[in-house]
Structure 1
Amino acid sequence: MSLANKVLAVNNDLPIRTGAPVHSGKVRSVYWLNESDSARLIAQRGYDVAADAPLAIMVISDRISAFECIWHGEGGMNGVPGKGAALNAISNYWFDSFRSQGLADSHILEVPHPLVWIVQKARPVMIEAIARQYITGSMWRSYAKGEREFCGIEISDGLEKDQKLPELLITPSTKGILEGIPGVPAVDDVNITRGNIEANYQAFHFNNLTDVDLYEKLLKDGFDLISARLATLDQVFVDTKFEFGYVTDKLGQEKLIYMDEVGTPDSSRIWDGPAWRDGKVVENSKESFRQLLLKHFPDPDILLNKARMEERTALARDNALPEEVLMQVSATYTDIAEKITGKPISLSQNPKAEIIDVLKNEYGLIS
Structure 2
Amino acid sequence: MNTLNHFDTPQLELLHRGKVRDSYRAPSGERLIVVTDRLSAFDSVLETPVAHKGAVLNGLAAFWFDKTQHIIPNHVISLLDPNVTLAKEAEPIRVEMVVRNYLTGSMWRGYQSGQRTFSGVTVPDGLTKHQKFPEPIVTPTTKEESDREITPENLVSEGWVSAELYEKMRVKSLELFNFASQWMAERGIILVDTKYEFGLLDGELILIDEIHTPDSSRFWSAEDYAKNLEGVEQIDKEYVRQWLIANKQNGQYPRALTPEVSAEATRRYLDIYERITGAPLPAANDTATGGDVQARLIGNLVQAGIMQKA
User: Secondary structure of the residue that 2:134 maps to in structure 1?
Assistant: strand
Normalised TM-score (structure 2)? 0.91
Matched, 1:25 2:18: yes
Contact 1:89 1:341 in 2 (8 A): no
Structure 1 residue aligned with 2:9:
14
User: Secondary structure of the residue that 2:68 maps to in structure 1?
Assistant: helix
Q: Structure 1 residues 269, 358: closer, same or farther in 2, change over 3 A?
A: same
Matched, 1:211 2:165: yes
Matched, 1:97 2:48: no
Matched, 1:109 2:51: no
The CA deviation string for residues 250-304 of structure 1, in whole angstroms up to 9 with x for no partner, is xxxx310111111111011101111111123111111111112223x164x72xx
Contact 1:14 1:356 in 2 (8 A): no
**Separation in 2 of the partners of 1:190 and 1:263?**
21
**Separation in 1 of the partners of 2:35 and 2:124?**
41
Q: Structure 1 residues 243, 364: closer, same or farther in 2, change over 3 A?
A: closer
Shift of 1:22: 4.2
Normalised TM-score (structure 1)? 0.78
Structure 2 residue aligned with 1:281:
232
Equivalent residues in 2 for 1:348-367 (5 A)? 348=286, 349-366=291-308
Structure 1 residue aligned with 2:149:
191
Q: Which moved more, 1:166-175 or 1:340-349?
A: 340-349
Structure 2 residue aligned with 1:342:
278
Count how many residue pairs are aligned between Structure 1 and Structure 2.
301
**Aligned-partner residue type, residue 104 of structure 1:** I
Contact 2:14 2:22 in 1 (8 A): no
User: Secondary structure of the residue that 2:14 maps to in structure 1?
Assistant: coil
Q: Structure 1 residues 197, 69: closer, same or farther in 2, change over 3 A?
A: closer
Gaps of 5+ in 1: 39-53, 73-77, 178-187, 249-253, 303-310
User: Secondary structure of the residue that 2:205 maps to in structure 1?
Assistant: strand
User: Secondary structure of the residue that 1:360 maps to in structure 2?
Assistant: helix
Structure 2 residue aligned with 1:332:
268
Equivalent residues in 2 for 1:228-239 (5 A)? 228-239=182-193
**Separation in 2 of the partners of 1:298 and 1:146?**
26
Structure 1 residue aligned with 2:40:
65
**Separation in 1 of the partners of 2:217 and 2:81?**
24
* Percent identity between the two aligned chains: 34
The CA deviation string for residues 201-255 of structure 1, in whole angstroms up to 9 with x for no partner, is xx21x4x54322211111000001111111011111111111000113xxxxx31
**Aligned-partner residue type, residue 90 of structure 1:** L
Shift of 1:24: 0.8
Structure 2 residue aligned with 1:291:
242
Shift of 1:70: 2.4
**Separation in 1 of the partners of 2:213 and 2:239?**
13
Equivalent residues in 2 for 1:292-311 (5 A)? 292-295=243-246, 297=247, 299=249, 302=251, 311=252
